[in-house]
Chain A
């Protein structure tokens, strides 16, 4: 009894303490809501056969009264299979109508669509406010109807190349593609993703500006071949990233007798993944795995843009070379963690030969496969294993998906040039 009363008292105190702030935020949100409600729509991908929605998201009017911006991943099914799906909108008052794809930015997960008639007042785009500013994300969380989530700007994500904005606030799946407004009611970003722990991400509205400018110059004509358009964007992005990577200072890390490049970029993180030694082991092995921990969404089962590499060192005093190599050989395999299927990519073609790296002999393989729909885009897999040392082994694996083959090979070569053997 006494505990309950005490708890109640604390709760009331707490409530009284925070309530003034809470009320101010509420009134601010309410006015924003009133202003923006008519400009935000639910965007739905509908299966032509069943007439039922297959995915939902949000979108908002921007630039012109019949132009809506949303995420690419909201409309991806429609973009990839226009014969199977149609795109439509649903307003807060329940009106619906079909939409047509105008343009997209695959790298930043943006799409611009067009309705057949005027839809409301376009929202204006504003610059990103300073860190800590209050932001309001609008959308359709979980198909429950229009909703607004307040959050705080935590600044541009520097870890990622495409510089998403990180906010503290809980975006929900259906809110993707909706706008995030500053306190003046202007769009500063487009809701894109959440980690679930009250941390969410926005695409800076600057990238939307670029598409809108392009569209305006073409008097809002839809793109002709979407796959060529997407391939070109992916290739340009890959080349940009590869050139940044190859210009970066990689730093050095030591694994066994080798000094090798460490993080290729701020966006790349390396982790130790060494196997826990067992007391009766007759060998030692060390394992470092690096990844850019991000990818570009293409479809429900396909994404590209991953960069992974790993270094593995194994040596032994007690094993004879035959026995050592049995173990070493088992570690020498490399696969690509990708969902790409037979309609997406060709088989791998591989080339194996013995090469000199850091004055040592290596058995080196490069495998390449190309995307069928996205012309000029490849997955490249590189693997090399030290040979000629009876009791020492070293393996370097690297793979990059959705990339330009020539530029990727250049990067590999440059990395291998940085390998050093410590005598």
Chain B
């Protein structure tokens, strides 16, 4: 005889009950065949029956009742086909045939690809130390004054605290939801959170000088402001919490939204400052000791010729726009 599976979903957890005897009663009371301990479920809530025509459901709850395909049931038995979705009180449930295919096995992610770096103690330690090292190096480069090591250690402390704080927060959430301390991966993610923007800064600067343009650093800056944190969080949730991609993306965007909002505010300010009138001449001010660039050095004669014609055209265009505006 064909058997039926009764499935409930609560907080993402699936429970399955095999039904072999008909009628089967479902409810919170202990005399039911299937006992659901959720408080929104009535002591005697639902009955599943079977006759020659097929399976049928009967709601016997007087309290929160049952939704069948999102419609409220009364106390009359209703024939169903498999699979069927229900809501019993707050609980989501399905009635499935036992031949329903199950999802493919998920290979344990820790052992795969990029995540190997974030789960291996040695590589995480390397990442962490690399981040600290680069931050110190960056501070050292930007201070052209003799300072002792203690000074740089002092400079590092705030970043170190924030980094460890983030790692702890991530690991804490993991502990609560998966009952595992994923401290290594969390530390790796927190390190990357500092390492990537710093790396982007340097790459952006190099490219700015190379192209004599502020565009590369602007693009990279926006990436590190808006994409790095959500991407890291999403990656972490998929790999450690085994969250499906879409919910992981949603959660990552939600968690990083305060920081994104801050940067959006900043970006809007800048946009409005640069779109209107500005006293400040905007030109590429980067200088690089490597002096690697696309533009070759040209003679002063040629430069002045170029500048004269280019600027005259550009300015006369702006003047025309101003005069148009004045006419309106």
Contact = CB atoms under 8 A, between A and B. Distances in A.
Nearest to A357: B300
A381 B281 contact: yes
B144 A355 contact: no
A349 B309 CA distance: 12
Q: Which of A326, A361, A388 has the most CB of B within 10 A?
A: A326
Given A281-B145, A351-B310, A353-B295, A368 B315 contact: yes
B144 A350 contact: no
Contacts of B289: 321-322, 324-325, 390
A278 B144 CA distance: 11
B297 A347 contact: no
A421 B32 CA distance: 98
Contacts of B98: none
B287 A387 contact: yes
A241 to B, nearest CB: 20
Nearest to B312: A405
Interface stretch (A46-54, A87-95, A263-271, A336-344): A336-344
Given A280-B146, A355-B298, A409-B304, A336 B281 contact: yes
Contact of A372 (B146, B281, B284, B322): B322
A54 to B, nearest CB: 24
A329 B289 CA distance: 10
A45 interface: no
Nearest to B308: A409
A335 B280 contact: yes
A215 interface: no
Contacts of A329: 285-287
A319 interface: yes
B299 interface: yes
B58 to A, nearest CB: 76
B293 A324 contact: no
B155 interface: no
A370 B318 contact: yes
A322 B134 CA distance: 14
B307 A351 contact: yes
Contacts of A413: 300-301, 304
Contact of B303 (A326, A353, A367, A406): A353
Contacts of B81: none
A42 interface: no
B296 interface: yes
Contacts of B147: 280
Interface in B271-328: 276-289, 291, 293, 295-301, 303-304, 306-308, 310-312, 314-316, 318-319, 322-323, 326
Interface residues of A, number: 62
B287 A385 contact: yes
B140 interface: yes
22 contacts: A282-B144, A282-B146, A328-B287, A329-B286, A335-B279, A342-B277, A346-B315, A346-B318, A349-B314, A353-B307, A354-B212, A355-B300, A357-B300, A367-B311, A368-B315, A369-B315, A370-B315, A370-B318, A372-B323, A390-B289, A405-B311, A416-B300
A333 B285 contact: yes
B142 interface: yes
Contacts of A352: 212, 283-284
Contacts, number: 145
B307 to A, nearest CB: 4
A36 to B, nearest CB: 45
Given A372-B322, A385-B287, A409-B304, A338 B144 contact: no
A58 interface: no
Given A324-B289, A349-B315, A356 B142 contact: no
Contacts of A324: 144, 289
B278 to A, nearest CB: 6
A334 interface: yes
B292 to A, nearest CB: 11
A178 to B, nearest CB: 36
A120 to B, nearest CB: 42
Contact of A354 (B140, B279, B297): B297
Interface string A307-341: 00000000010010111111111001111101011
Contacts of B312: 368, 405
Closest 10 CB pairs of A and B: A342-B277, A321-B289, A349-B314, A348-B281, A367-B281, A350-B283, A346-B318, A325-B289, A280-B146, A327-B144
B105 interface: no
Given A335-B280, A338-B279, A348-B281, A353 B144 contact: no
A368 B23 CA distance: 89
Nearest to A345: B277
A147 to B, nearest CB: 41
B154 interface: no
Interface string B249-279: 0000000000000000000000000001111
Contacts of B100: none
A151 B308 CA distance: 49
A342 B318 CA distance: 12
A314 to B, nearest CB: 9
Given A325-B287, A329-B287, A335 B319 contact: no
